[in-house]
Amino acid sequence: MLVPERTGSVLPVRPGAPPRGVRAGSWALTGAAAAGLLVVGFGPEPLRGPVGLAGVLVGLAALGFGTARVARPGDRAPWQHMCVAGLLFLTGIAIRIIVPETAVSPPTPMAMIPNVVVIPGYLMSAYAFAGLLRRRRADEDDPAWVDAVLVGVASALLAWTYLVQPSIERTGLPLIQLANSFFPVIDVVLVVLVAQLALAGGVRAPTLWLLIVGSASLFGGDFLYSVRDGNLADLPAHYVDALYTAAFLLFGAATLHPSMRTLTEPQQIVVRDLSRARTVVIAVVLLIPIGVMTAEPVGGALDRWVRAVLCSLIVLALLFRVVRSNNSRARAEDAIRRRATHDALTDLPNRELLSETIATWGDRAVADGQEISLLFIDLDRFKMINDHWGHRVGDELLCAVAGRLSANLRGTDLVCRTGGDEFVVVLAGPSARTLAEATAGRVLDLFSRPFLLSVGEVVTSASIGVASAVSGAEALELIRDADTAMYEAKATGRNTYARFDTRMRDDVRDRMTLEQELRGALERGELYPTYQPIVDLSTGELDGYETLMRWRHPTLGLISPLRFVPIAEETGLIVDAGAWLLREAATQLATWRAERGPGDRPLHISVNISVRQLRDRELVAIVRDVLDETGLPPDALWLEITESGVMEDLETALATLDELRGLGVTLAVDDFGTGYSSLSYLNRLPVGIVKLDRSFVSEVGEQGANESIVRAVLAMAGALDLKVVAEGVETDVQRDWLRDQGCDLGQGWLYGKPVPASEIG
């Protein structure tokens, strides 16, 4: 099995475009390389030398210009090394021209001088290609370098069989021949580097192809040079010169092309199936040893050993590739499996692994008579943290919670993150039911300490649901049951835990039924408004009405607002229902005001605005449209907001309230005294009315404990020039006491229950 090939995309080009015209110059040099190959190799003899020398000089000049002007300043090193190599090659050519023919044939030590200069040029070329590879290096599973080694070893086998070994047999190992034999060795190194560049993933830029073809021309020239110099064949020197000329021009063209910048850019590699081209390369590499051993008889002992070593290296490299491929696939499968079963943010097991573990532990519990318990943990007010500090800090908090839970619970317990701000802890053992509640208490203690995040210390709490089971069938229901218990814990005030019982399941079923029925209640006409009087305590005159939503279901009957309003709020149905109620109330008030005489007191209408409505961007537009449609004066419309609703997202709420106040409507704080009641809080809100919660009104007039609180609220409202409406006024004693204390308005059963408009005389 072979390792998949990789490909990738180049990152966006950084600022600093190359000079104009270099692309055209690159293709012009490519054409010149083809022409130079033909002229120097097969053209008239008087033109060969001048054209060859001109090609070398032009190619070297283009190499220098491209390095200086096209390459980015930080990416020039490989190209600079290539320029140095070109200068060394040019120096070697010049020395060969200067060295007299008598020093070359027969070979003398003077003939070594060009090689002393050219060999460092090859080493510098290898260093340049290695520099390009370092900048384009893929990850550790990339098989390109293994394939390049295979190509290099196969090339070494060919070079040994057809160049080095025959040359040794013919001439022995004099110093000059030993030096010439070094060229095939260097070429093998270059072949490995160029092959890796060609086989590595990434965009196949024109510069890369020009470098590959130029390198092939260089290798061809070296091959013919070795054949000619080793007296293995009678070849004209201009064939060698033609290939070298083309190589210089192609290297210059590669450096001029603007795509040369991409060779030094990082690559984003993705895996794909083994390409057809790479398959052909590997097949050819494997066929080379067979062809060599078949076509060329083995010479002496040295030839036998060299061939054996090189063939063995090919087999070992291929074996290494297969083993590496299998290991790479195994790692990839493990990584995929881990991504599928673990949370990407916290690295905790996710819901999938949780379900598998519960099923496995449940089967074991049946056999061993043990218990399984599950803690469903939900962070309280996590959305406020996200909204205030941003999702980055929210993620930090989730990771901190994951670390604290993992570090402080038993090693045998399974800690999971199932999504959002929800965590689950699974415990198993003979007394897991008892242990679960102790663990829940310990988790609450863990949340009592602040979490140190990048923004400082952040405090949060948790609501925990606890459920237990003793069989595999029940264990699969643990998540649902513990989740249900968690919502029970939130309903009782947060920062606590609740144990699941079947009553909760019945409550959830009833809640789901109500939710389903509520979704179509408005369209079916089952919702209707009722109106409760608000009276001036000092005169007893009617001042207005509060509009309250009611739901009469055809089979379930009259459903309490305490049951359906929270569901509407949670599901968002309250947005449409609230807008409908606002329009109904305003329309009804317009009718009543039209029916009243000129001397009658003008009435107002009060409508509750939910938390979800307050967050709705369309609220202000809806209120404006209602005022336009009904023709009501804006101050006749009172909009009631709750303290807790405003404080959940204070800045957003304040912005919306300011816009509403700008329309001229009257804003009121409902249920004042049950939440964040304070002078500074009231002073920030653009309200004109404070509605005193009925829990404080119920004991006034009889020297109850709340009288001092009511007096304080009245004094606070007076200092801020706010009117006060007392809710829940049910007795004459309460009315008289409130009136004597200076309370402005009253509302309650003493004046009337909420009834439909048709029942109001």
SS (H, E, C) 298-313: CCCHHHHHHHHHHHHH
Confidence (pLDDT) at 742: 93
Confidence (pLDDT) at 72: 66
Q: What's the burial of 349, exposed, middle or buried (CB within 10 Å: 0-12/13-18/19+)? A: buried
Same domain, 649 and 705: yes
Confidence (pLDDT) at 326: 81
Confidence (pLDDT) at 676: 54
Same domain, 64 and 92: yes
d(CA 573, CA 115): 87
Read off the CATH number of the domain in which 433 is found: 3.30.70.270
Q: What value does the mean pLDDT of the chain take?
A: 81
d(CA 224, CA 709): 106
Same domain, 487 and 589: no
Residue 159 in any domain: the answer is no
Prior bond of 106 cis (ω within 30°): yes
Same domain, 111 and 259: yes
Residue 145 in any domain: the answer is no
d(CA 422, CA 382): 10
Beta-carbon count within 10 A of 233 CB: 8
Q: What does residue 339 show for φ and ψ, rounded to 5 degrees?
A: -65, -30
Residue 77 in any domain: the answer is yes
What is the 3 state secondary structure string of 101-123? HHHHCCCCHHHHHHHHHHHHHHH
Residue 6 and residue 270 in contact, taking contact as beta carbons nearer than 8 Å: yes
Residue 325 in any domain: the answer is no
Same domain, 495 and 566: no
Classified as helix, coil or strand, 142 is coil
Residue 732 and residue 750 in contact, taking contact as beta carbons nearer than 8 Å: yes
Residue 425 in any domain: the answer is yes
Among 211, 234, 265, the domain-final residue is 265
Residue 11 in any domain: the answer is no
Beta-carbon count within 10 A of 10 CB: 17
Confidence (pLDDT) at 360: 79
Q: Which DSSP symbol is given to 75? A: G
Instruction: State the sign of the Cα–Cα–Cα–Cα dihedral 218, 220, 224, 229.
Output: positive
Same domain, 436 and 495: yes
Place of tokens 């196969």: 154
Range of the structural domain that residue 562 is part of:
514-759
Beta-carbon count within 10 A of 382 CB: 18
Domain count, the chain: 3
Among 500, 528, 550, the domain-final residue is 500
Among 234, 265, 296, the domain-final residue is 265
Q: Residue 142: CB partners within 8 Å, gap ≥ 6? A: 3, 6, 200, 201, 269
Same domain, 646 and 571: yes
Confidence (pLDDT) at 7: 38
Task: List, for residues 264-283, the tens digit of each pLDDT value.
Answer: 665 554 444 566 767 777 78
Same domain, 462 and 380: yes
d(CA 359, CA 357): 5
Same domain, 475 and 555: no
Same domain, 591 and 662: yes
Read off the CATH number of the domain in which 647 is found: 3.20.20.450
Same domain, 553 and 669: yes
Residue 516 and residue 484 in contact, taking contact as beta carbons nearer than 8 Å: no
Same domain, 383 and 490: yes
Q: Nearest CA to 746 among 760, 731, 757?
A: 731
Residue 22 and residue 295 in contact, taking contact as beta carbons nearer than 8 Å: no
Residue 54 and residue 104 in contact, taking contact as beta carbons nearer than 8 Å: no
Confidence (pLDDT) at 6: 36
Residue 551 in any domain: the answer is yes
d(CA 328, CA 64): 42
Q: What does residue 327 show for φ and ψ, rounded to 5 degrees?
A: -65, -40
Single-letter residue type at 103: A
The structure's pTM equals 0.56
Q: Identify the segments of the chain with pLDDT beneath 70.
A: 1-21, 71-74, 99-112, 135-142, 169-182, 200-204, 230-232, 264-275, 277, 295, 362-369, 470-476, 673-681, 761
Residue 527 in any domain: the answer is yes
